[in-house]
Chain A
Amino acid sequence: MRLLALAACALAAPLVLVDYQLVFAAEILVWGLFALSFGLVYGFGGMLSFAQALYFGMGCYGFNLATYKYALDTWGAIGTGVAAACLFAIPTGYIATRVRRHHFLIVTVILSVLTSAMLASGHWRWIAGPYVTRSLPFVPELALGPWRFSFSSEVFSFYFTTAAVAGAVWFAWRLVSSPFGRALAAIRDNEARAELVGLNVNLLRWMMFTFAAGIAGLAGTLYVLLARYTNIEFFDWTYSGKAVVAAILGGASSLAGPFAGMAFYMVTTEHLSRHMEQVSIAFGLLLLLVVRFAPEGLYVACARRLREIFRK
């Protein structure tokens, strides 16, 4: 029922919103998906990762490489982006998930720094094409059966992004409600016991890390389709901070929380940045307050409160 209402909202959105708002809404969904990939790793897997930006960047560069070097169409480029993120997550995730807690955090930061340094050094330009920063020189088009759609249409961009994000969320939902997701929650809550009942802890963490990286990669490719622009900055670990802030504000251990957090983050930034320049200070303070008073996240806390009120 709620899903139908959401779908109706999405379908009706182009009637209400003007073009630039549509693109902004699509961007919120893309960055929300990025925050969700952090939520999967942290909220469901208990791994505090600052490496999500790495896979977002890999998605962007995979898309770039596919269109620039191999002249693939948009479907192929999206596939390449997601595959690049997953393939990169397999070795890096293997290193990271072998260690725990603080080591894990440090390793994810270092992996991001390492990759940024390599890309920036210029010896690895084949990954990035000739440019570290690249604007797509063409408007991407998408073949859907006999029809071709161009991303110059805001309405199509919005529908496509929404559909892709919905698909990814459905996948994430299947993932966390599957036995695999349950096992991972068990590991998060008590690793020693999970290991005692026979779960292969490292393998499961590694798998979740890779799935989440694929989702971050998808967000990266969707971002390129919307903004037609990639930047080496996307690999920086501070970029992961955006996902961390949004997911924690909204609630990292729910699927809707990261989206709610990111929508709140982006809408406030958009409106406040007209009046004050340093919105991030406000978000830093808000983060401290949320961590202190509602560690499960604002969205989750509000949803629970509302449910309590309606029950009475």
Chain B
Amino acid sequence: MELLPVLVLNGLVWGLIVALIALGLSIIFGLLDFVNVAHGDFFMVGAVLAWVLIDRTGNFWIAFAIVPAIGLVAGAAIERGVLKPVENDASLSIVASFGLSLILQEGVRATYGATPKRILDPIGVTFPVFGLEYEYYRLFAAGVSLVAMAAFFLFLHRTKFGTWMRAVRQDREIAIAMGVPSDRIFMVTFGLGTAMAMLGGVVAAPLTSVEFRLGLDVLPLCFIAVIIGGLGNLPGTAAAAVLLSVMEGAITAVAEPTTARIISLVLMSVVLLVRPRGLFTRLAT
């Protein structure tokens, strides 16, 4: 019980990272209109690339700078090469993303290996809080997620490209008729979503063990956040991710972690049946 404040704090940090990843899933869903089953694996690839770059260069900050850029480019290329040809059929797009997921997981297992690896805390300084030594890095990770999300919302609401993205989401055909370059927007959106997942991967890598199955744990979490927040409702998704994670942290103080997970899964089922559009309908942009 005395661990409660720390567990809630941990939940908040992890929740912000999950919010970033779920936001990526949500923008891809909102614009391209399909659920990207490979999203968790992009997160995993981000963490693995971070491990590889740190292994080669010995510096976390190089990985931190490069990996999201790789995500942006790779995501855009994947959208053009793989998803564009099947964009009119949502089911086929999902199946294609499942194929991607297989390729990413097995590709990482073939090259990086199946054993989980750890990354050292890149800051390595702690401060006392609630009677425990708490890593500054966790606060940094939470801060990065917050800044990235804030930057994305600024981009969405303050730039011409962001306005185009919102226009395509609202009414694709009218937007195209008005001359919005929808092809380019789809490409950039998928790139941005992927970059968010990979940034999440880099930031989360020192907090967890890095292995090829990492995405399989994160994807259901993002799914729950997306359902509770409302599919395609961006601020709602982020809020739900943070809320869920804090709640799970608090429950973990008194019960087992699986109990906490089961409670959030049940919560999701209830939300789905009672309010299928999500809890935060007022936050919808």
Decide if A and B are genuine partners: yes
Q: Which of A110, A245, A284, A287 contacts B220 (CB 8 A)?
A: A110
B242-279 vs A, CB cutoff 8 Å, 1 = contact: the mask equals 00000000000000101101100110110011001000
Q: Which of B35, B89, B276 contacts A105 (CB 8 A)?
A: B35
Asked if A280 lies at the interface with its beta carbon under 8 angstroms from chain B, I say yes
Known contacts A117-B261, A280-B106, A287-B99; decide if A107 and B220 are in contact (CB<8 Å). Answer: no
Number of A interface residues at 8 Å Cβ cutoff, please give it: 38
Asked if A309 lies at the interface with its beta carbon under 8 angstroms from chain B, I say no
Cβ of A106 and Cβ of B226 under 8 Å apart? yes
Cβ of B273 and Cβ of A281 under 8 Å apart? no
Interface of B is mostly: helix
Residues of the B chain whose Cβ atoms lie less than 8 Å from the Cβ of A277: 110
Residues of the B chain whose Cβ atoms lie less than 8 Å from the Cβ of A110: 220, 223-224, 227, 265, 268-269
Cβ of B262 and Cβ of A114 under 8 Å apart? yes
A11-34 vs B, CB cutoff 8 Å, 1 = contact: the mask equals 000000000000000000000000
Cβ of A95 and Cβ of B273 under 8 Å apart? yes
Interface of A is mostly: helix
Asked if A303 lies at the interface with its beta carbon under 8 angstroms from chain B, I say no
Cβ of A281 and Cβ of B262 under 8 Å apart? no
Asked if A120 lies at the interface with its beta carbon under 8 angstroms from chain B, I say yes
**In the bound complex, CA of A291 to CA of B89 (Å):** 10
Cβ of A106 and Cβ of B227 under 8 Å apart? yes
Residues of the A chain whose Cβ atoms lie less than 8 Å from the Cβ of B223: 106, 109-110
Asked if A139 lies at the interface with its beta carbon under 8 angstroms from chain B, I say no
Cβ of A120 and Cβ of B110 under 8 Å apart? no
Cβ of B262 and Cβ of A118 under 8 Å apart? yes
A-contacting residues, B197-223, CB 8 Å: 216, 219-220, 223
**In the bound complex, CA of A114 to CA of B95 (Å):** 22
Cβ of A117 and Cβ of B258 under 8 Å apart? yes
Asked if B122 lies at the interface with its beta carbon under 8 angstroms from chain A, I say no
Asked if A244 lies at the interface with its beta carbon under 8 angstroms from chain B, I say yes
Known contacts A106-B35, A292-B86; decide if A113 and B220 are in contact (CB<8 Å). Answer: yes
Known contacts A102-B35, A278-B109; decide if A120 and B100 are in contact (CB<8 Å). Answer: no
Interface pairs A-B: 6 shortest CB-CB: A284-B102, A287-B99, A284-B103, A121-B258, A280-B106, A114-B265
